[in-house]
Amino acid sequence: MAYIVPLYTSTITYTERIRTSIRAHDLCKDHNHDVESYLLWIRHQLDILTTNLSSGNASTSDLIEPIFIQLLSTNSKRLRRSVEDWHLSYHKEEKSFTAISLISLAEKTTKAL
């Protein structure tokens, strides 16, 4: 199968497309509630983003909330409980997350469950 790679006029346009894709992605529809598949996809997107961003603009903090929302839509009650705890701690500023650290924690938790 051949992949068509879109040609973007700038890195900024490319990274904004990835950010939009992450925000619009749906664990239920796009991954049929398969958390591992979603986590693999999101990890790949974040790797592309952090590789393409300059060191001065490497923040992915704007993606944390959409990732939380997607993880909260899981069918797994145990994982959802964990994500709810992380989300609450994040908003109470008890825990600090980056998008990648959140995905890493979700991957470890999913494997443990």
Model confidence at 56, pLDDT cuts 50, 70, 90, reads: very low
**Residue at 86 is within a domain:** yes
Determine the 3-state secondary structure of 48 from DSSP. helix
Could you give the CA distance from residue 51 to residue 66 in angstroms, rounded to a whole number? 20
> Based on the structure, what is the number of domains in the chain?
1
**Residue at 5 is within a domain:** no
Mean pLDDT lowest among 54-58, 65-69, 95-99: 54-58
**Residue at 3 is within a domain:** no
Could you give the CA distance from residue 63 to residue 5 in angstroms, rounded to a whole number? 23
Instruction: Give residue 61's domain range.
Output: 11-112
Q: Which pLDDT belongs to residue 52? A: 66
Which of residues 13 and 98 earns the better pLDDT score?
Answer: 98
**Residue at 28 is within a domain:** yes
Counting residues of the chain whose pLDDT is more than 70, the rounded percentage is 86
Tokens 């990890």, located at residue: 43
